[in-house]
Amino acid sequence: MTRLAVILLAGALSGAPVFVAAQTAPPVSPQVLAPPPEGVSSVPFRILDQDRLLRGSVLGQQILARIREAESQLAAENQRLFDQLAEEEQALTDARAGLGAEEFRRRADAFDTRVEAIRAERADASQALTLWSEQQAQQFFDTALPVLVQMMNDEGLLALLKPDVMILGSDWLDVTDTAIARLDAAIASGNLVEQGVTPPPDPVPPAALDPATPDAAPAEPAPAPAQP
């Protein structure tokens, strides 16, 4: 079974490209670009690495741990179903010699029908977990938004841009570490509470599809009518 990939949304922030005079200019080392004088903001924007903010902050790590745990539970449930279906298939194969052709076909068709139903249900469960993971990542940025807005106000900024929109820039433009420290401090002090906490989807299939459920087992053949 394939573990789900965690899909992280870009989040609530968007950026505009930074224009340069000549796109064909040779690369310049960031060290050449001097920082602005102390206490002066020479540009009204900074760079924020949202992925690093999520992975580097305490809150983000807690959210990612919840996502990994939900993935593990789904993977374990998928493996359980796979193992039980494999055992049932082997039992049906072993019983084939003692069954008539018609009865074996009836049981095999019933088994195939349930396998297809479980496969479709597992696909839905995986999709539900993917959507939940995306929502958790988005809710992280919703929670962090007041901290980021306050940081912008404190530093006189008009925009936070993604790293991939800047062609050239100095290291001091990146405020990700500052944002992580501010977010961790706000969470630790209780001044900021995580928003949108919802449990992950239940990885266990409906009872009617679970091979371990007695009602889901292939029906025994009806007794043959008594001969006169």
Banded model confidence at residue 119, pLDDT cuts 50, 70, 90: very high
- What's the average model confidence in pLDDT over 156-177? 87
- In this predicted structure, what is the pLDDT of residue 17? 32
- In this predicted structure, what is the pLDDT of residue 37? 52
pLDDT at 209 over 90: no
- In this predicted structure, what is the pLDDT of residue 38? 58
Tokens standing for residue 140: 């992280």
- In this predicted structure, what is the pLDDT of residue 7? 26
Task: Indicate the SS3 state at residue 141.
Answer: helix
Rounded-to-integer distance, Cα 53 and Cα 58, Å: 9
User: How does the average pLDDT of the chain come out, rounded?
Assistant: 78
Q: How many CB atoms are located within 10 Å of the residue 170 CB?
A: 18
Q: 143 lies in a domain?
A: yes
Banded model confidence at residue 112, pLDDT cuts 50, 70, 90: very high
pLDDT at 182 over 80: yes
Residue with tokens 């209780």: 190
Q: 139 lies in a domain?
A: yes
Residue of 151, 142, 139 lying closest to 177 (CA atoms): 151
- pTM here is 0.69
- In this predicted structure, what is the pLDDT of residue 41? 54
> Which tops the pLDDT comparison, 175 or 195?
175
User: Which of 10-19, 73-82, 93-102 is predicted with the least confidence, judged by mean pLDDT?
Assistant: 10-19
pLDDT at 89 over 80: yes
The gap between the terminal CA atoms of the chain, to the nearest Å, is: 54
Q: 114 lies in a domain?
A: yes
Question: Which pLDDT tens digit goes with each residue over 134-162?
Answer: 999 999 999 999 999 999 999 889 999 99
Q: How far is CA 101 from the centre of its chain?
A: 47
Question: Which pLDDT tens digit goes with each residue over 20-78?
Answer: 333 333 343 444 445 555 554 567 889 999 999 999 999 999 999 999 999 999 999 99
Q: 161 lies in a domain?
A: yes
> Which tops the pLDDT comparison, 200 or 16?
200
Q: 38 lies in a domain?
A: no
Q: 206 lies in a domain?
A: yes
Q: 165 lies in a domain?
A: yes
Tokens standing for residue 52: 């690093």
Q: Provide the domain limits for residue 57.
A: 43-216
Rounded-to-integer distance, Cα 74 and Cα 81, Å: 11
Phi, psi of 47, rounded to the nearest 5 degrees: -105, 135
Give how many domains the chain has, as a whole number. Answer: 1
Q: 88 lies in a domain?
A: yes
